[in-house]
Chains A and B, each alone.
Chain A
């Protein structure tokens, strides 16, 4: 078949046009999703006065529960929850230690920027990443003000004593704290909170903010608490007491 150059140019245009129109065509049906209850708004409260800087019960439990790998590389290690030490810049307040994790914002910027809707928010406020839909663009990592997300830089495998209930994430996708959604959906607490209450000082509590009878609801409404970067208007679900 002979094609003149104008035809080649025209064909190029058609290909480009097809690429532009293609986004509007659904070639593959999305899997049916089960829905969480919109009645709940899961949240966490951390009493920093009870959080000991030497205690890593929450981070250890998280790694174990969620098969969070370490690569012996601080630049690329994955942290779903981490202990942060805070030192007053003016030296007037005592230093404090507290856990930082995904804040499961009501208006999550990571969800806003995700081009494929791999990052999404459930009706109960838990923000998740669909590891099968994430293309590894890392825009969510750029947008998250809490540095709560990590890219999986190396291939990982489920270790012998790993948790088979939580699948590992393949290299090239972004992962983060899920509030242990697999436990929450069974009526249990996230592993970090459970460990803090059992092995730590009980600094962390978890519950439904919409349930007026829950401990977290009462404390958040009765005690002065604060959230990180409240000025951004994201309405995070992780509250801190005693800062």
Chain B
């Protein structure tokens, strides 16, 4: 049942404190950007071995999560889950907010961000980056169209929502393919990277939607039917299992070839192994599933929130692992030979993120958080109460 949508009042001290908190994050990001812009990337801890560092982990995590955040709306519009129709506006707007935060970090970390316009003047359509310029901006257009149709022209919702759904699948495949198409790096190159990014986007996006819905409804005194969250919990379970399946298939395929023994053994036992075992598999897969399949915790909102938090940490770990392990593993230019040089050939790259990188990254979270908070204050994105249809009961552990 759809109840009236309304803005939040936005005059409570908690709301203002949240605004201030995200504003501080934005200020930290702005400071970091200006400092690096003046002093060069030498002020960061990135190197000529690890050229994409912590800012890219934040940026790509936010972009991937943005695509997944739209899944909630797609469930209603594309897959006919009418009980989630009430969250379509929230979902589409959140996708824009997260995308804006991620894109800002990505652009502001460029060596020459002042030349960003060049990506719109000189385009190379063989580059996944060029495709992503179109995919990201196209995704925002589709989300705006989707919102516009939801607000004003319901008859176009199916069309706009379906286009946005297709757009987000292509977008996230494109993001994953930034790495997947790179033959030069053994950790990156895989056809399954794109689909894994899509699955990871849905776990993290769904987790973010659950956490924000529960928190927003709680703090604004709105009624949120628990069974709606239980339905989303089941989505989280399904896609977490899908991520696990894709990771297993990739490992199986690579370990089948002796050419990949060295690199795959390094991934599972090397310096980035804790990130893989604890972050990707532990926090991203095992912990959420253990919580969500537990009859007690899996049915409690508190338990689901913990699982969502773990899923988001898992997503960030996945992105960090792909990025950092992929760049740290030394190039194998002369098979059969051990390499050494003044350019650190043959060595696993050392990288520890710097404070400026962290500040730029959290700046992206600040942007996304502020857009969301301002959005729910000025646009009617959320229903006054969210109730599941009578008789609708999702599966429960």
Inter-chain contact B111/A172, CB cutoff 8 Å: yes
* Distance from B263 Cβ to chain A, minimum over Cβ atoms (Å): 14
Whether a CB of chain A sits under 8 angstroms from the CB of B378 is yes
User: CB-CB < 8 A to A13: which residues of B?
Assistant: 141, 144-145, 147-148
B140 touches A137 (CB 8 A): no
CB-nearest residue of chain A to B188? A142
Measured CB to CB, the nearest residue on chain A to B339 is A84
B140 near A116: Cβ-Cβ < 8 Å = no
Measured CB to CB, the nearest residue on chain A to B332 is A229
Interfacial chain B residues near A76, Cβ < 8 Å: 42, 47-48
**Residues of B close to A116: CB separation below 8 A:** 115, 118-119, 121-124
- Are the C-beta atoms of B378 and A5 separated by less than 8 Å? yes
A142-190 contacts to B (CB < 8 Å): 142-147, 150-155, 170-174
Is the Cβ of B151 less than 8 Å from the Cβ of A171?
Answer: no
Q: Is the CB of B111 within 8 A of A173?
A: yes
Q: Assuming the A-B contacts A100-B341, A109-B183, are A17 and B141 also in contact, with contact meaning beta carbons closer than 8 angstroms in the complex?
A: yes
Query: Is B387 at the interface (CB under 8 A from chain A)?
Result: no
Closest to B380 in A: A5
Q: How far is the CB of B227 from chain A (nearest CB, A)?
A: 31
Does chain B have a CB within 8 A of A1?
Answer: no
B144 cross-chain contacts in A, Cβ below 8 A: 9-10, 12-13, 16-17
How many residues from B make CB contacts under 8 Å with A?
Answer: 64
Chain B residues in 8 Å Cβ range of A16: 137, 140-141, 144
Bound Cα distance A207, B129 (Å): 35
Interface locus among A19-27, A32-40, A196-204, A216-224: A19-27
* B337 adjacent to A147 (CB under 8 Å): no
Chain A CB within 8 A of B340 CB: yes
Q: How far is the CA of A87 from the CA of B40 in the complex (A)?
A: 36
Chain B 16-46 interface 0/1 with A at a Cβ cutoff of 8 Å (1 = within): 0000000000000000000000001110001
Among B47, B110, B182, point to the contact of A75 (Cβ < 8 A): B47
Contact of B111 among A9, A10, A115, A134 (CB under 8 A): A134
**Cβ–Cβ contact B118 & A133, under 8 A:** yes
B residues whose Cβ falls under 8 Å from a Cβ of A? 40-42, 46-49, 51-52, 110-113, 115-124, 126-130, 133-134, 137-138, 140-141, 144-145, 147-148, 151-152, 178, 182-185, 188, 327, 331, 333-334, 336-345, 350, 378-380
